[in-house]
């Protein structure tokens, strides 16, 4: 019997996406024999090894930053002083992390410890038929440790999961028996090789595109030696990996589910999800471009009629392009929003057709997404343009 491995990369709060992947695999009836993970992937891997999907969903439905990391509150003083974001964090959150790094060598993890104690059962994992592997790194030597549950001393499994998730220097190193460990992402953020060494034939690898070292050589090895390698990653920003909130978790769980269903051919699309057979590949390209510009919801599954209904609703609220000061295509790019630029291009194409500048190859290089979107809207008669 061939063995399937699920490889879960590190990515902090983006880890909810991996739970969505698991949800899809369960619906597809894909059995998991091996699960390997780094950082949050180790925590999610423990959920998979316990084979308790509802428990994993409950975990991600309650995670908030203050529950995971020990950050001193300033009573809102810093947050109130600055009205801007730094890498997806509020100024107050960024300052809180900076203070913990400078004064304490990273944020404490007593909250994360409580979460692991609540949700991770060492006994269940050791009895499981699903083999769990994790990656962590000694500090300061940066010596990697690739460990399966059976390699970890009794009573220490939770410690090693916490060690794998210690995103130093944002989070303090984890000490186990006098040795300090940090996030496994420093050596292997997506442990494909660990799965191969355990005898995996088919690998489903989830990449969260967060901080960490990707072993390209092991990915190439899997491409050459595994019977099948399926790489799953989001086409959307999954959020700052240090900021946990339940609204984003629900969103990215859904995105992980949809991307996996598309990877296995149940649905079609890239950024957006379409029922199979609703659109040709060419139509999908235009539909994706228009849907993105119109800011449609990427967590929905669209049939063509539903897609057009959502587009019409968005178009009804879109501002009409003000072209009084537009003297050139460069002016249009500089002065118009993405939506009004698309509508401006659609008007020019409707008015002049093949003789329009926007029908030229040069224009396509400059305005590819907007032209594809405008063309889709025109062909499907979604714009109330004058004849």
What are the tens digits of pLDDT across the range 343-352? 989 998 999 9
Query: Based on the number of CB atoms within 10 Å of its own CB, is 313 exposed (0-12), middle (13-18) or buried (19 or more)?
Result: exposed
Of 36-50, 96-110, 169-183, 358-372, give the range with the top mean pLDDT: 36-50
Residue 79 has a pLDDT of: 43
**339 pLDDT higher than 90:** yes
Token pair of 273 as six digits: 């999800």
SS3 assignment, position 7 = strand
**162 pLDDT higher than 80:** yes
Mean per-residue pLDDT, 56-71: 80
Q: CA torsion, points 21, 24, 28, 31, in degrees to nearest 10?
A: 40
- Tens of pLDDT, residues 270-314: 999 999 999 999 999 999 999 999 999 999 999 999 999 999 999
Confidence of residue 204 (pLDDT cuts 50, 70, 90): very high
Query: Which residues are CB-neighbours of 262 under 8 A, at least 6 positions away?
Result: 268, 269, 270, 273
Confidence of residue 101 (pLDDT cuts 50, 70, 90): very low
Please name the residue that has the structure tokens 């809180």: 96
- Tens of pLDDT, residues 115-139: 999 999 999 999 999 999 999 999 9
Confidence of residue 337 (pLDDT cuts 50, 70, 90): confident
Residue 171 has a pLDDT of: 77
- Cα–Cα distance, 311 to 373 (Å, whole number): 11
Percent of the chain topping pLDDT 70: 88
Reported as type and span, the H/E element at residue 85 is: strand 85-86
Just list the catalytic residues. 39, 183
CA dihedral sign, ordered 369, 371, 377, 383: positive
Residue 69 has a pLDDT of: 62
Residue 70 has a pLDDT of: 53
Cα 2 to Cα 131, 216, 228: the distances in Å are 14, 24, 11
Higher pLDDT, 319 or 239: 239
**143 pLDDT higher than 90:** yes
Range list of H helices, the chain: 16-28, 40-50, 53-62, 65-68, 77-81, 91-104, 110-119, 122-127, 157-164, 192-197, 216-225, 246-263, 281-293, 304-316, 329-335, 338-352, 361-366, 368-379
Residue 333 has a pLDDT of: 77
Mean per-residue pLDDT, 142-153: 97
CA dihedral sign, ordered 76, 82, 88, 93: negative
Reported as type and span, the H/E element at residue 137 is: strand 131-139
**68 pLDDT higher than 90:** no
241-242-245 Cα angle (round to 5): 90
- Cα–Cα distance, 148 to 198 (Å, whole number): 9
């Amino acid at each position: 019997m061939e063995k399937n491995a699920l490889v879960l990369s590190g990515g902090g709060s983006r880890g909810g996406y991996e739970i969505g992947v698991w949800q899809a695999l369960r619906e597809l009836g894909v059995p998991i024999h091996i699960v390997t993970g780094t950082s949050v992937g180790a925590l999610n891997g423990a959920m998979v090894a316990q084979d308790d999907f509802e428990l994993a969903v409950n975990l991600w439905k309650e995670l908030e930053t203050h529950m995971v990391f020990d950050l001193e509150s300033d009573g809102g003083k810093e947050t109130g002083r600055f009205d801007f974001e730094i890498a997806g964090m509020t100024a107050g959150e960024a300052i809180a992390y900076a203070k913990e790094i400078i004064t304490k060598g990273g944020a404490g993890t007593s909250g994360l410890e409580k979460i692991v104690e609540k949700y991770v059962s060492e006994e269940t994992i050791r009895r499981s038929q699903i083999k769990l592997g994790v990656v962590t790194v000694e500090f300061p030597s940066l010596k990697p440790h690739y460990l399966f549950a059976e390699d970890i001393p009794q009573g220490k499994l939770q410690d090693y999961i916490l060690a794998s998730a210690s995103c130093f220097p944002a989070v303090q190193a984890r000490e186990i028996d006098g040795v300090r460990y940090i996030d496994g992402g420093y050596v292997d953020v997506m442990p494909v090789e660990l799965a191969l060494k355990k005898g995996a034939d088919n690998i489903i690898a989830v990449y969260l595109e967060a901080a960490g070292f990707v072993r390209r050589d092991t990915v190439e090895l899997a491409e050459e030696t595994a019977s099948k390698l399926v790489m799953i990653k989001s086409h959307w920003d999954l959020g700052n990996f240090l900021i946990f909130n339940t609204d984003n978790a629900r969103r990215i769980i859904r995105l992980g589910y949809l991307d996996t269903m598309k990877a296995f051919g149940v649905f079609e699309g890239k950024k957006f999800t379409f029922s199979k057979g609703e659109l040709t590949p060419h139509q999908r390209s235009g539909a994706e471009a228009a849907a993105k510009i119109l800011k449609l919801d990427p967590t929905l599954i669209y049939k063509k009629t539903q897609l057009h209904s959502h587009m019409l609703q968005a178009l009804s609220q879109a501002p009409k392009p003000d072209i009084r000061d537009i003297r050139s295509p460069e002016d249009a790019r500089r002065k118009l929003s993405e939506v009004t630029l698309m509508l401006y291009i659609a008007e020019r194409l409707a008015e002049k057709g093949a003789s329009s500048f926007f029908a030229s190859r040069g224009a396509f290089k400059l305005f590819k997404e907007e032209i594809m979107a405008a063309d889709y809207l025109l062909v499907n008669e979604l714009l109330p343009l004058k004849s």
